[in-house]
Amino acid sequence: MLHKFRYVNPGDRSELLDLLAENGSSAKLLAGGTDLLVNIRGGVQRPQLLIDVKKVKGFQGISWSVTDGLVIRPGVTINELLRDATVRDKFSLLAECAHDLASYQVRNRATVIGNIVNASPCSDMAPGLLCLGARVVISSKRGERELPLAEFFTGVKKTVLASDEILERLVVPAAAVGARGSYRKLKRIQGHDLGIIGVALMKKDGLISLGISSSAPTPVLVTGLHEGDAEEVLVAASRKATSPISDVRCSKEYREFMIGTFVKRLNREVK
């Protein structure tokens, strides 16, 4: 059972930004609802107003151009991303991350941007997007600002977003085209499950990036590694960047061990 709240679905961007400015701290943005409605049901969040972003003009779809890169808007679901020809062709790492997220029904509803703004340490989309150098465009009535995704997360379920702001676009720069990468997620079962850990590894222009989830208060990005670096160097860098904890799913030591194992496996697999 959900507590009583109001619901609005603005049709244009300025109306949405007005609503956020007026109601900010007592409102929550609703996209797929696959995290928000579960949190409301569990009493974790008690917003007075839900602002649905799905009908806002211009908030739908994925676009691609060499000048603007891959642009993902708030209405884009995980399955929409998976079906996108550009994503499959040029950003297969993103498709791998998306494919590992929850179940088919959830992917029909859950959004890419929702998976980022929820800022769960176990986000499946963050590892790939971090490796690819994604940027976020944040809007409010006060204006627009852009920053690297790596600077977006500030803690467990915490981001730089102010209460009147929305993450309006996720941008994967065209410079990331040609990167080779892969994502591995460790789960308790083969079916859909939260990750025990998740590791994305990407190689491009002689450099290696790692995106790691479920291993620190936020998803983390590791850069400054090179193709040809010894496995021990990659593992040490992943160890230094993460601080896993023990919880219901497994122990800290197992997480540490498996991060290293996945980094080594991915380094061998990604040619």
Partner 1 sequence: MRVKLSVNGSVYEREVEEHFTLLRFLREELGFTGAKEGCGAGECGACTVFLDGKTVNSCMVLAVEADGSEVETIEGQALNGSLSDIQAAFDRHHAVQCGYCTGGMVLSVKELLKRIPKPTVPQIKEGIEGNFCRCTGYQQIIEAVLDVSGQAESAGKGELKHA
Which residues are near partner 1 by CB under 8 A?
2-7, 9, 30, 32-34, 37-38, 41-42, 50, 52, 54, 79, 102-106, 108-109, 190-192
The CB density around residue 200, as the number of other CB atoms within 10 Å, is: 32
Q: Please report how close the Cβ of residue 166 comes to partner 1 at its closest, in angstroms.
A: 18
How many residues does this entry show for the chain? 271
Q: Which amino acid is at 243?
A: S
Residue 163 tokens, joined:
């209460």
Q: Please report how close the Cβ of residue 2 comes to partner 1 at its closest, in angstroms.
A: 4
Which residue's CB is nearer to partner 1, number 46 or number 158? Answer: 46
Evaluate whether 145 touches 178 at the Cβ level (below 8 Å): no
Q: Please report how close the Cβ of residue 35 comes to partner 1 at its closest, in angstroms.
A: 9
Which residue's CB is nearer to partner 1, number 106 or number 161? Answer: 106
Task: Give me the sheet containing 135-140, strands edge to edge.
Answer: 62-65, 69-72, 166-172, 135-140, 143-148
Which residue's CB is nearer to partner 1, number 52 or number 229? Answer: 52
Which of 270, 269, 246 has its CA nearest to residue 257?
Answer: 246
Which residue's CB is nearer to partner 1, number 33 or number 69? Answer: 33
DSSP-based three-state secondary structure for 147:
strand
Residue 177 tokens, joined:
């085209």
According to DSSP H, which parts of 42-111 are helical?
78-83, 85-90, 92-99, 104-109
User: Using CA atoms, how far apart are residues 82 and 99, in angstroms rounded to an integer?
Assistant: 7
Quickly tell me which residue has 């997360």 as its tokens: 153
Which residue's CB is nearer to partner 1, number 50 or number 221? Answer: 50
Which residue's CB is nearer to partner 1, number 194 or number 241? Answer: 194
Q: Which amino acid is at 215?
A: S
Q: Please report how close the Cβ of residue 50 comes to partner 1 at its closest, in angstroms.
A: 8
Which residue's CB is nearer to partner 1, number 4 or number 271? Answer: 4
Q: Please report how close the Cβ of residue 249 comes to partner 1 at its closest, in angstroms.
A: 15
Q: Please report how close the Cβ of residue 113 comes to partner 1 at its closest, in angstroms.
A: 17
Q: Please report how close the Cβ of residue 230 comes to partner 1 at its closest, in angstroms.
A: 36
User: Using CA atoms, how far apart are residues 116 and 237, in angstroms rounded to an integer?
Assistant: 24
